[in-house]
Structure 1
Amino acid sequence: MEQEANIVTTTIWKPYKAIAYILLWIGIILFIAVNGNTYWIHSESGYRQGLWRECYNGSNRVIPTANVIPAVGETIPTTPPQQKEVSCYKAVKESWLSACQVLSILSLLAMIVGAVLVTISWFTARPIKRRLTTIGGIAVILSGVLLFAVLVTFPILILQADVYQFRKEWEFSWGYGLGWGVLLFQVVVGLLFLFAPATKEIYFSERDI
């Protein structure tokens, strides 16, 4: 009597995309903190700035030291004596800073769109689910590209701004570093959505005795 072999398929759920989904929402919360804080760059002389606001004591430009000699045609700024109390104001309008603000908002929106698409995918059938997850991953990667442009542009062009003149001991602060942390979240989450398997199927045979 011949034995019949039955092919049995077992599907194992992989948690990679679920982990990516949790990291995505954590990244969005951190991104909001990055946009809202004023600690991207700061000086020991009483100045700090984020994307949207700048904080300083007295004036955003300081009085030059006595040994500073202006170049031909250059005007040395003069300001009232600096106060000890630091107050925050809306950042001075600069074209490069406005561009960074726009890119930052677009990056956050792309990240939120990715999160919404992936959330919808949890309640759809497999073909649509996979498609929505892929589009969500692309949106998150695009968000990372935009944020990268902001993080590179900001420190380069802030050094050319008036507020940098005659101030000493400039340092990047925790807000700027947090931005790079969010970028890392975006890269990891985007790659997991695009390439990590959601399930794994194992095939084995059973013989009837």
Structure 2
Amino acid sequence: MAPTTTIETITITRPLKVIAFICGFIVIILMIMALASNDWLMAEGWRQGLFLHCIEEDVIPPLPFNLHDPPGCYYSRDVTYIKATAVLCIITLITDVISTIVTGIGLKTQNHNNKYKCYRIAVLVMLMSLISLLTALILYPVCFAAELNLGNRPVWQFGWAYGVGWGAAIFLFGGVVLLLCDKESEEIYYKERKIVHDNQLRA
């Protein structure tokens, strides 16, 4: 019997998509670290995070922002920019988790239409995550500068947790670029091969 030609669809996973997935996973870790830390803003005898501020044992009065608490950790001050930054960072974490999961689903699925949809959704959600984080990282120092006269400290510095936030922003930007640059059409290949079917009946 004459050979027949079949067309196979071959899906190739590009490394850029895998790297984008890894970037999203790293951002999850970095954002958890930033949210959990009290080292966003630091001065002598004072550490401030998004949910708590801590007064150290050797603090020299007067305390920053006209507080009168003894040494210890307390809930963050009732200030709008701190709450807004915390909310934006939580949104960043949630949206990044969603985009990373969707990217992983896109890597795993073999259906090229579903794969394309997953990557498109992932890049949009990750872009939303990046915008939220950049807004938080800009809002925090700008609004703090407006109340600097209440700081009662000559030297203020942003702690490592704030730097971790910028690190997360860099990885988010990288993930968005990688998802945008690696076109879905480059992942689908069509290959022809000939198959000989032996259908002769034996006596």
Quick check: 1:92 aligned with 2:91? no
State the one-letter code of the partner of 1:57. E
Which letter maps to 2:134? Answer: F
Q: Note if 1:168 corresponds to 2:154.
A: yes
Given residue 121 of structure 2, which amino acid in structure 1 is its aligned partner? I
Q: What amino acid sits opposite 1:56 in the alignment?
A: I
- Is the CA contact 2:112–2:188 (under 8 Å) kept in the aligned structure 1? no
**CA positional deviation for 1:123:** 2.2
**Across the two proteins, how many residue pairs are aligned to each other?**
183
Gaps of 5+ in 1: 1-8, 65-75, 204-209
Shift of 1:47: 0.6
In structure 2, C-alpha distance between the alignment counterparts of 1:14 and 1:41, rounded to whole Å: 41
Give aligned-pair identity as a percent. 26
Give the gaps of 5 or more residues in structure 2: 1-8, 191-203
Partner of 2:25: 25
Aligned to 1:207: none
Identify, as 1 or 2, the structure richer in helix.
2
Contact 1:138/1:194 (8 A) holds in 2: no
User: 1:55 is matched with which residue?
Assistant: 54
CA offset digits 1:143-178 (Å, max 9, x no partner): 010010100111111233479421121111111011
Is the CA contact 2:23–2:171 (under 8 Å) kept in the aligned structure 1?
yes
User: Residues 179 and 148 (structure 1 numbering): CA distance in 2 closer, same or farther, change over 3 Å?
Assistant: same
CA positional deviation for 1:90: 1.2
- Compute the displacement of 1:56 (Å): 1.2
For 1:158, the equivalent position in structure 2 comes to: 144
Match of 1:101 in 2: 86
Q: SS in structure 1 opposite 2:83? A: helix
Partners in 2 of 1:78 and 1:29 — Cα distance? 33
